[in-house]
Amino acid sequence: MENISVESICIHSGTSNANGTSGVNTPIYASSSFHYRDTQENIYPRYFNTINQNAIVEKLCALEGTEDGLVMSSGMAAISTTLLSLLKPSDHAVFFNEIYGGTYNLVISEFSKLGIEYTFVDLNQPGALENAIKENTKLIYVESPSNPLLTIVDIKAIARTAKDRNLLTVIDNTFASPINQNPVRLGIDVVVHSGTKYLGGHSDLCFGAILTTKILKESILKSALNFGGSINALDSYLIERSLKTLALRVERQSENAQLIAEFLERTSKVKKVYYPGLPTHENHAVAKEQMKGFGGMLSFEIASSNLQEVNRFLDNLQLIQPALSLGGVETIICSPVLTSHIKVPKEERERVGITDGLLRLSVGAENVKDLIVDLKQALEKL
């Protein structure tokens, strides 16, 4: 069918009945060994070409509007495999200065060992990107909305600048998910996801995804085969099952997050709220232009910006759980300085605005009234 809805894509795209059964789900091919004499290619889990792996990739490509892709063992496997396959010694890459802490640590820990140059820039500063580009620049890496400050960058403008200079672009689309944002349609070359978050959506799977053109996928695959970041058949089945409810989950989470952000902005014990759906967000207009929804992630800074008060607030919560990661159907909260950005130096965190009083809220699919009551009572005890 043409012009099929995103909800129907989530449920139907990629499902395989290659073994001739009449089931509506892709069977689990729990095998690491496949016959080779009667096939055009050797099938093997580490080659990223089993039926269960292909089913996920086809569904994600349909959602993101890409030609091909790879499903990896983690979000960082997807990010590192992409970067280390597209960059070589003496190359230079430009990175948004508000990227996920794990990506930041990858760059500062590994790139110098490999002879790869890099520059971190504020992509919202006029002329910053153009000034950072060198003769040996090969790639621009962005994240929007960013983790944890929900900063928005103009994806279309960055892609246009890159294409004018024949540079590759990579974006981490984890926070938005394919439901709320499709960067390839804005001109980006490669989209990566930490599937552990929204794509899995139930806080029980760890995987990543790379989505791009067939040509770039083949280039990335050459390194992926060596790095070995593949997933097994059972996880593949669970991922495909989870993707069927992606649109339903993300739409509800986005609606809840908008209402919670509006509540927190009205609360005197909250100093600042970071959510692109708020008109007060500095790039709200850009977010409206490039996003279909504003997502289930938000951050806020309590008035007393110290870890002692943060811990008091977390202890007072009754429904919302202090926990790592994000994107699940349950609402969880964390302190970025102790979790996602613990490996980023304190001075660098504070420079971009990640303070001790900042809390990142991953809004779930509960009744939003329950969540607001919980936040309200915990804040009143400060």
Strands 137-143 and 168-172, how do they pair?
parallel
Of the residues 100, 237, 274, 275, only one is catalytic, namely: 100
Mark whether 217 is an active-site residue. Answer: no
Nearest to 191 by CA among 63, 73, 92: 63
Of the residues 68, 91, 154, 172, only one is catalytic, namely: 172
Cα gap 183→189, rounded to integer Å:
8
Cβ atoms of 210 and 79 within 8 Å: the answer is no
For residue 212, report the phi and psi dihedrals to the nearest 5 degrees: -165, -160
Mark whether 141 is an active-site residue. Answer: no
Hey, CA dihedral for 227, 232, 233, 238, is it positive or negative? Answer: negative
Pure H helices in the chain: 6-12, 51-64, 75-86, 101-110, 128-132, 155-164, 177-180, 214-227, 233-243, 246-265, 284-290, 307-316, 346-352, 368-380
Of the residues 29, 59, 118, 197, only one is catalytic, namely: 197
Mark whether 113 is an active-site residue. Answer: no
Q: Residues, the chain, total?
A: 382
Q: Which residues of 182-198 are buried (b: 16+ CB within 10 A; e: fewer)?
A: bbbebbbbbbbbbbbbb
Mark whether 100 is an active-site residue. Answer: yes
Which residues are known catalytic residues?
Answer: 46, 100, 172, 197
